[in-house]
Structures are given as C-alpha cells and as structure tokens.
Amino acid sequence: MNLSITLNTEQAAALDDLLASHNAGLDAPVSAEAYLQTVLLGIIDDKVSQRFEATAANLVNASRQLPYESRIALIAQVQAAIEA
C-alpha cells in the first residue's frame, strides 16, 4: 500500500518538531517519511497484537466450558498445528 498524506502548515510544523525530537539522539537521522512509516506501523502492529490477544482470550474462555478431555484434545490439536 502506498500512502500520500497532505499536511497543513500547522501539522507540518508539528511533524517537524516530532521529527527533530526523534532524530536528536540518533547517529543517522531518519526522514519524515521513514518516521511516519515507523509511527504508523507501530500503531497498526499494536492493533494486530490487541486483536490477537482478544481472540486468544476468547478461545481460552470458551474452552473453559469444555470437558477436560475435550480441552486436552484441543490443546493437542493447537500444538500440532503450531509444530507443523
């Protein structure tokens, strides 16, 4: 996906401040594009993690309702899929 962002003057000034702060401690400063990509991917990756954790929690909660033997079978099935 390619993304084009148009910033107004105030937004551009704010980005300049953010970028300057970010680059202040770096030996090799990054461009505004690289900085924005890092920030945006960080937000997206955080959402990916939240969705995974919620799904895993739902699976755990739902499996609590199963009889012990079914839970053991489910665990074995998941472990086999991970090892495959």
Q: Taking the CA atoms of the chain, what radius of gyration do you get in angstroms?
A: 22
What is the number of domains present in the chain?
Answer: 1
pLDDT confidence tier of residue 80, bands split at 50, 70 and 90: very high
Kindly state the average pLDDT of the residues 4-29.
96
Query: pTM for this structure?
Result: 0.77
Q: Has residue 4 been placed in a domain?
A: no
Domain membership of residue 78 as a residue range: 9-83
Going by C-alpha positions, the residue among 1, 27, 33, 3 that lies closest to residue 15 is: 33
pLDDT over 90, % of the chain: 95
Q: Has residue 17 been placed in a domain?
A: yes
Q: Is the pLDDT of residue 74 over 90?
A: yes
Q: Has residue 55 been placed in a domain?
A: yes
Kindly state the average pLDDT of the residues 57-84.
96
At residue 2, the pLDDT reads 87
Q: Has residue 52 been placed in a domain?
A: yes
Q: Has residue 1 been placed in a domain?
A: no
